Amino acid sequence: MRATSYPDMATTDQLRGLPHPTLEQPLPPDARFFPLPQPGSFEVAQVSVQDALDWWEPSGFLGRTVLDLVELSHLLWYTQGIREVVDDSVTLRNVPSCGNRHPLETYLIVSGVGGIPEGLYRYLPSRHSLALLKPDTNLVSQFAAACMNIPAVHLAPVTFAWTAVPYRAVWGLGNRGYRGVLIDAGYVCQALIMSAAALGCEVRPIDLFHDELANRLLGCDGTIEHAVLMAAVGKREGRL
């Protein structure tokens, strides 16, 4: 906490005039793209804030259910969707971010979403679409092992995995940006919990995982980009 306390803004790379980091991580040249239904083109149930909060419970179990692309689009839009690009380094989204830096990337481990194959995806907020990074029918079991074999990961049709690119925050906030990365992960996970309630979905946040294995499965180097938080999403059998 001392190492990230103020003041240290005077020495940020932003004030030094250094180029700002990219808004999204680069993609492999062989990535396959899947457009998502656009926000506003579909309707979901209207759920009050109080009901959304009451809906969540710390359950480790989900039913073997499926989601469709409309439902996934809804969840991604309300967790990291870009409302407006202010300039080439600032975006306005549906979640807060410390210093408006948005240092997170959203990966998806998909095993039960209609219309797309199983595998590892990354959400692209700039175009509201998915990039298939690795088709893999065995990825869920590997990722569950990285998450200490929490049952929800085995059963969930999709598990969100958020990674941090700390320099996006540090560029503008100095060392304080390292705190912002973790705070932002909390903002995004809570937004997932709230938006999932409109779909009748449950969210199981996962903060206990094997860092090196998770990074390797996600294709992160663990330094420039590293895993910070996971969340399995699905429906409880018998609830709907």
User: Residue 80: what pLDDT?
Assistant: 97
* Domain residue ranges of the chain, discontinuous segments joined by +: 49-234
Report the b/e string of 91-115 with b at 16+ CB within 10 A: bebbbebbbebbbbbbbbbbbbbee
The pair of three-digit structure tokens given for residue 42, joined into one six-digit string: 């579909």
The pTM of the full predicted model, rounded to 2 decimals, is 0.94
DSSP letter for 127, please. T
Lowest-confidence segment of 60-69, 87-96, 99-108, 202-211 by average pLDDT? 60-69
Separation between Cα atoms, residue 38 and residue 240, nearest integer Å? 25
Give percent of the chain with pLDDT exceeding 70: 95
Average pLDDT, the chain: 91
Q: What is the dihedral of CA 124, 130, 132, 137, to 10 degrees?
A: 130
Average pLDDT for 231-239:
77
What's the pLDDT tens digit per position in 189-217? 999 999 999 999 999 999 999 999 999 99
User: Residue 146: what pLDDT?
Assistant: 97
Select the CATH number that applies to the domain covering 49-234 from these four: 3.40.109.10, 3.40.50.970, 1.10.3720.10, 4.10.910.10: 3.40.109.10
User: Residue 94: what pLDDT?
Assistant: 93
What's the pLDDT tens digit per position in 106-162? 999 999 999 999 999 999 999 999 999 999 989 999 999 999 999 999 999 999 999
Give percent of the chain with pLDDT exceeding 90: 75
User: Residue 240: what pLDDT?
Assistant: 41
Question: Which of the four pLDDT bands, split at 50, 70 and 90, describes residue 89?
Answer: confident
The pair of three-digit structure tokens given for residue 115, joined into one six-digit string: 């219309």
Separation between Cα atoms, residue 12 and residue 170, nearest integer Å? 7
Separation between Cα atoms, residue 211 and residue 200, nearest integer Å? 30
Report the Cα 79 to chain-centroid distance in Å: 7
The pair of three-digit structure tokens given for residue 167, joined into one six-digit string: 């320099």
User: Residue 9: what pLDDT?
Assistant: 62
Place of tokens 């893999």: 136
Question: Which of the four pLDDT bands, split at 50, 70 and 90, describes residue 11?
Answer: confident
Average pLDDT for 57-82:
88
